[in-house]
Structure 1
């Protein structure tokens, strides 16, 4: 830092302010210091900074699996959101134990050993947090869970998206809308099922029994027989919708000629399904950005970062209906 200061013609304190992104630096001076850092190949020493600030500038991500499209997209979006704020990201996979909680406990222990400043817990793992023995003082934000025990939670408007999908099918003239749901222990699946169910009941329609999958396209394909008489199906994610469309086609039922199908997520390939899939779009970038912002605000003690950390708070990210060719008028 002394070499950078000498080259830029500033004090060591000014270099420190630039390194720590302080607003108390003139833009021209900042540019001169940054150029000196580039010329000299200077990089901040993360371990030394941690000793001085008491923070590692690293956050953890706890996840039970990265095999699902939603989780893998959230990993990428979270890594990008953390990097934008100067934080590194380390992933701890919570391999489920006999009751699932053991895997989350082990993940928290690994993150504590790495002295992360806080952690984001993703989707399926979030449901296990209330029962876990998380290390004292570990700051957490959970995605797709209920804010409880002082936790901060962020989730998409799953119920609102499901309601929009169901209304779309009803508006097309379908007298009933069937549902291919996600796993029973999933918060997102439960909320999507709730939105579907409440919308039908509001229209005076008794919901049929749900068929349940495991988020995979294979489970969607296997469910095709259950919808032999259906004219409209709302699937809890795009992967199951993909499998269902193929399963229906192999049974001689055209989509959307005989059956209209709606998915959820709007994965990058949804527009290239055959037919292109009508779906509910989740904003994974906004979801990750909100979660990282809440966690960093708590780490850095930002008074504008949200509600009192002692009180539960939930942020809900809007979803939107994307109409393509897999739905048609009855």
Structure 2
């Protein structure tokens, strides 16, 4: 039973307790406890009176006492292997928002290294907190493989875009997003397109590259070896300066917005007009992308929806749903000012501008 708390004392400034709620609602404190803990035996009208009294008084249930009654901590564990990058950090934020809307807290453990000892240590840390379920956000397939080998005995959702369907998995469709970006450039008339990829030990980088190459092949265009980057604007700037050494392309699809920002900087320093001379597309739609110059055409990931669906999937397991799910959330293309049809063909283009 939820802790009834001490009796009210005249003139004492304190937080409201369960007896105050019962008095306000005109019911017993046992009824308030059953409402708080989700008992199905409460009449709807009575439940609403209690909820109204809770809102009116600003009462906050004792979480420790609730755990004793329900055998649940109402804490979701999140195992995270990279909190610095935009995708993982915003995914975590979206999960926290969705969890709080369901009256759950989130406890996070960051993996120091993507190896079994580090993963086991982080998982043990979360398990000691008696978490009700676990979410795994990691860029490398080997992290998910290690989690499966450890076989944590609790509800589990993994956020992976690798295409595996061996459990409860959810992700934004990275390959579909990359195909949208590439198709946009092709439909504008570009046939010579460079791809600046991310680190190849990242699942997202590999699947985005797969989407780019699939769209290129489907349209019978020549395949160029992707440039392997590291997600940073500094690398994008370096790659942009290297590309201009030959300048035999009219468009660049960068695997994230930060590398696209570096490419834009390199092209601007070289005196190029974007999109008049060359088009650039990114991926992620970071909040600043609309303020790049020019504003960046990019692929938007719907992190708010991802967080909400992830929490729903995990809570479904916690409530006893044993059916396995694999869900991909569609990405969206956001067209801004960094893309346009290619300039007229000029066989001496690189020579005229850079020699």
Normalising by structure 1, report the TM-score.
0.90
Change (3 A) 1:292 1:223: same
Taking the TM superposition and a 5 Å limit, the aligned residue runs for 1:52-131 are: 52-96=69-113, 100-124=115-139, 127-131=142-146
More divergent stretch after superposition (264-273 vs 248-257): 248-257
Residues 62, 125 of structure 1: 8 Å contact kept: no
SS in 2 for 1:225: helix
SS at structure 1 position matched to 2:72: coil
Question: CA shift at 1:217, angstroms?
Answer: 1.3
Q: Deviations over 1:10-42 (max 9, x none)?
A: 234431232134566455533432344456664
- 315, 327, 330: which one pairs with 1:318? 330
Q: Residue in 2 aligned with 1:197?
A: 213
Deviations 1:215-265 (A, max 9, x none): 121221121133221210111111111111112212222211221000111
Shift of 1:317: 0.2
CA distance in 1, matches of 2:199, 2:251: 21
1:226 aligns with 2:246: no
- How many angstroms apart in 2 are the aligned matches of 1:15 and 1:131? 44
Q: Which residue of 1 aligns with 2:222?
A: 206
Q: Measured at CA, do residues 189 and 316 of structure 1 come closer, stay the same or move farther in structure 2, by a change above 3 Å?
A: same
Q: What is the CA distance between 1:102 and its match in structure 2?
A: 2.7
Asked if 1:308 corresponds to 2:286, the answer is no
Distance 1:36 1:178, change over 3 A: same
Residue 181 of structure 1 is matched in structure 2 by 197
User: 2:66 matched to which residue of 1?
Assistant: 49
Offset of 1:151 from its aligned partner?
A: 2.6
Structure 1 partner of 2:261: 242
SS at match of 2:191: coil
* Conserved 8 A contact 1:109-1:135: no
Change over 3 Å in CA distance of 1:286–1:127 after alignment to 2: farther
Deviation at 1:174, TM superposition (A): 1.0
Using the size of structure 2 for normalisation, the TM-score is 0.84
Matched, 1:275 2:294: yes
> What CA distance in whole angstroms lies between the structure 1 residues aligned with 2:258 and 2:175?
19
Aligned to 1:10: 27
| Structure 1 residue 182, shift from structure 2 partner | 0.9
Structure possessing the higher radius of gyration over alpha carbons = 2
How far 1:44 sits from its partner (Å)?
A: 1.7
Change (3 A) 1:67 1:85: same
Q: SS state of the match for residue 90, structure 1?
A: strand
Deviations 1:66-110 (A, max 9, x none): 2111222112111011111111001111111xx533322221110
Paired residues, what number? 321
| Secondary structure of the corresponding residue to residue 120 of structure 1 | strand
Unaligned runs of 5+ in 2: 5-17, 343-355
CA contact (8 A) 1:112 1:135 kept: no
CA–CA distance in structure 1, aligned partners of residues 268 and 163 of structure 2 = 42
Paired residues of 1:220 and 1:243 also in contact (CA < 8 A): yes
Q: How far apart are residue 129 of structure 1 and its match? A: 2.3
**Unmatched 5+ stretches in structure 1:** none
Comparing 157-166 with 131-140, greater Cα deviation is found at 131-140
* RMSD, aligned CA: 2.2
Residue 157 of structure 1 contacts residue 318 of structure 1 at CA under 8 Å; is this kept in 2?
yes
